[in-house]
Amino acid sequence: MRGAGTLAIISRGTLHKFGTWSIAIVWVANGLFCKVLNMVPRHEQIVARILGGEYSLILTKAIGFSEIVMAIWVLSGFRSRWCTSLQVFIVLIMNIIEFLLAPDLLQWGRFNLLFALLFIGFVWANEVVFKRRIESEY
């Protein structure tokens, strides 16, 4: 029998691995599909609203590539605390700016901020709660 506080149904590391892959998939989906491949044109419209329209396409693609790099960093596990902190900061700042300057272009309007906060909570929990639980089991 395992010690108190462990989940007998989920094997060691599974929860953290699932979280890590889920977070990376969010970054790739938003970066590659929504921005680089421009499958969701409103992302460029948001960039145009906030940063101006002249270079919005190239800036949107640059943001998309940066999000793909973030996904790679998440999966690498390199300096994961720094990675987590940067993700929290970026998602929070980006969503506050969008909340203030482009709420009409967001998929769920101002409720996007709520989903961003839920994502931030998941990113934080994956690093601080799920990962710590795994490390303490060894």
* 87 contacts 75 by C-beta, under 8 angstroms: no
- Give the pLDDT of the chain (138 residues) as one tens digit per residue: 455 555 456 655 789 999 999 999 999 999 999 999 999 999 999 999 999 999 999 999 999 999 999 999 999 999 999 999 999 999 999 999 999 999 999 999 999 999 999 999 999 999 998 886 555 555
Residue 133 lies in a domain: no
Provide the domain count of the chain.
1
End-to-end alpha carbon distance in the chain: 15
Provide the token pair at 112.
Answer: 């996007």
> What is the pTM for the complete model shown?
0.86
Query: For 109, left (φ over 0), alpha (ψ -120 to 50), or beta?
Result: left
Residue 109 lies in a domain: yes
Domain extent for 123: 14-128
